[in-house]
Structure 1
Amino acid sequence: MLTQKELLKIYSGFNDDEIVVLATYESKKLTEIAVPILIDELTKRNLGKDLLDWVSMERNFFKGTELEVLKSKIKNSICSDCKTLKNDVRGFFIHHCSLTHNPSEAKLILCESCGKKLRRKNYIISATFGWLSLRSFIKVPLYFLGEIFYSFARKTQSRKIIEEFIFENTGLIRKLGIDRINEVITTNNRYQLSLKRDNRDYIFEFF
């Protein structure tokens, strides 16, 4: 782990654009000693109060009762696929072993019915197009064996996907408020199903 002195030297060597990128996309992942240094650089360079506020929101992690309330809000939300208010929305890891279909995997938040339907669709893709790839005689059976194995841990997998979604979108949820969580889920799912795997492309669509 870098020391405070080392971080001071690194951040002071960054140009303004690099500091803005760090504050915008990486601040939630910084260590506790790095955050004050970043804030100091933003202030010294007069890069704007909006960025300072954003760092504050990104670092205001959901914990304890507040986290459980947010999880409950997600569970009882409108499914972004069928557009119906449900009480069984959860996290799904959807993937296949075909080289001809994209994306190969996605972490989505959907209702039970839509999630299972999408999973079955990827089973069909793997069972058909999966055989077109090299070493398919190993990959396809391993894919289905893995699905059987992970079927016993769906609840744990769902919990981890939702917690990861909340963490990655902390600042956006703070800015919009939990009453607009459906918008964040819908946008996240859309990008997960595209070839863009980074929320950098959408977090400021709401600004």
Structure 2
Amino acid sequence: MFTIEELRENYENFDDDQIIKLINSDVKALTEPAIIVLKEQIVKRELSATYLEHINLERNFFSSREKEEIQRVIKYLKCPCCKQDLERLTGHSSSRRTGLFIAYTKSDKNYIVCSSCSKKTTKNDIIYSLFMGWWSAKSFFMNFYDIGNNIYKTNRREQLFEKMSSELIFYNTGFLRKNQCSKESINHIVKELYNPSYQEMEDFQNIYSQEKHQ
């Protein structure tokens, strides 16, 4: 563990690009002394005040009560898969394997959807693996595990929801704080988890910010 003086000496030797790179990395993982020194460097180098805002937002962690409130909102969103709100959302995790004679490929699905979509996806992945997962020596044995694991996870949807939603909220702390934990921003991160190409996060922030101030 570095002392704050050692951190000051180290950061002093960084150029602006290195400081900015550090800011844009996961500042949630930095120690409090490192955050103090990083903020000092931003002010000393006269870098943009938006970097300070970014750090403050990312480090403004949610309390247990706040996290539970966001999870409650997530539960009642429309399913990002079927676009319906007939069921509460839950956690989903499944995989499918394709044997390629001397090799294989594996596709994992980990997201938050309604129970019906989760059941349908799991069923499709099991059927796919039953037909396509055996066609290589390694894949032949691994396929037994994949199919069994898919079946096992069908009974752990609520535990998966708790884990996935907690990680999703933590990872998007700054984004949610900046948008005041609006339903639109919460819906966005759930869709982003389901489909990573759904929309660029930065574009959404700009659009939402403009609409809010109109």
TM-score normalised per structure 2: 0.80
Give the structure with the higher percent strand: 2
- Specify the alignment match of 2:203 in structure 1: 205
Question: Quick check: 1:24 aligned with 2:27?
Answer: no
Q: Contact 1:75 / 1:86 at 8 angstroms: preserved in 2?
A: no
Which shows bigger deviation, 175-184 or 150-159?
150-159
Structure 1: give runs of 5+ residues left out of the alignment.
195-200
Amino acid at match of 1:52: L
Could you tell me which of 159, 162, 167 is aligned with 1:164? 167
Moved beyond 6 Å, runs of 4+: 99-103
1:126-137 to structure 2, matched below 5 A, reads 126-137=129-140
The residue type paired with residue 34 of structure 1 is: A
8 Å CA contact retained: 1:76, 1:86: no
8 A Cα contact 2:133 2:140, kept in partner: no
Gaps of 5+ in 2: 207-214
**How many aligned positions are there?**
199
SS in 2 for 1:47: coil
Q: Which residue of 2 aligns with 1:122?
A: 125
The answer to whether the Cα contact below 8 Å between 1:77 and 1:86 also exists between their aligned partners in 2 is no
Name the aligned partner's letter for residue 64 of structure 1: S
SS at match of 2:111: strand
Change (3 A) 1:190 1:99: farther
Point out the structure with max Rg over C-alpha: 2
Alpha-carbon deviation of 1:48? 1.0
Aligned to 1:205, the other structure's residue is in SS state: helix
* 2:202 is aligned with 1:184: no
Root mean square deviation of aligned Cα: 2.5
Taking structure 1 as the reference length, the TM-score comes to 0.83
| Identity rate, percent | 31
Q: For residues 62-96 of structure 1, what are the alpha-carbon distances to aligned partners after superposition, in whole Å with 9 as ceiling and x for unaligned?
A: 11221111110011112112222355112222322
